Structure 1
């Protein structure tokens, strides 16, 4: 597994986008000031911070992402074989709350919760990133 990003689930996407771009000076990987998703990199190319519109994530996770006082972030881990990884974590006691399922035409994902209820996304890229 490889840490891919820390993703923040936000309700004020444009305001958060401007904060990370204009106030913190992070570089957007692509322009998306109105969302619903953006990823930023810091100097040195460290692991990115991503923003995702909470309503869009609620379409995937339902009640786990709907409540604005609820989940505010998730840790994203990239894996080579999502089905194999899910079988391994199930055997170790994890219970996926979503997936494995396609998220886009480029990736499949599964979501888990840790013992404190924090969200973890396992993602497998189907098409190499460009």
Structure 2
């Protein structure tokens, strides 16, 4: 697996976007203050900014209470194929989501947590 993103899950997306872009001067590689998701590119990694409510929708309504209490960051790993990595890991971790195509984003994803509860996403690019 290749760590490609650290994703900050935020409640006030526009204010945070403007902070990282205008105050800290980070270069935007995708998104704007209205998209509810943005990437700031750095050498070797991407800082993602995502509205927490949108992440909730991605991992499913059964996690509503949990995400609102704790998730502030997600680690994003690129894999060759989500299905293969899912099969490899499913006996070792409890997945929150099964491999799911997110056509609008051009990716397939699955989610799970580390032993301390940190949110982890594995993804592959599709079509």
- After TM superposition, the score normalised by the length of structure 1 is 0.86
Q: Deviation at 1:102?
A: 1.2
Q: Structure 1: state its 5+ residue gaps.
A: none
Q: Deviation at 1:31?
A: 4.0
Q: Deviation at 1:101?
A: 0.5
1:112 matched residue in structure 2: 112
- SS of alignment partner, residue 29 of structure 1: strand
Is the contact between residue 109 and residue 124 of structure 1 (CA under 8 Å) also seen in structure 2?
Answer: yes
Q: Deviation at 1:30?
A: 2.9
Aligned residues: 124
Distance in 2 separating the partners of 1:86 and 1:73: 21
Q: Following superposition, which runs of at least 4 residues in structure 1 exceed 4 angstroms of deviation? A: none
Q: Deviation at 1:59?
A: 1.2
1:17 matched residue in structure 2: 17
Q: Structure 2: state its 5+ residue gaps.
A: none
1:52 matched residue in structure 2: 50
Q: Greater helix percent: which structure?
A: 2
Q: Deviation at 1:60?
A: 1.7
- After TM superposition, the score normalised by the length of structure 2 is 0.88
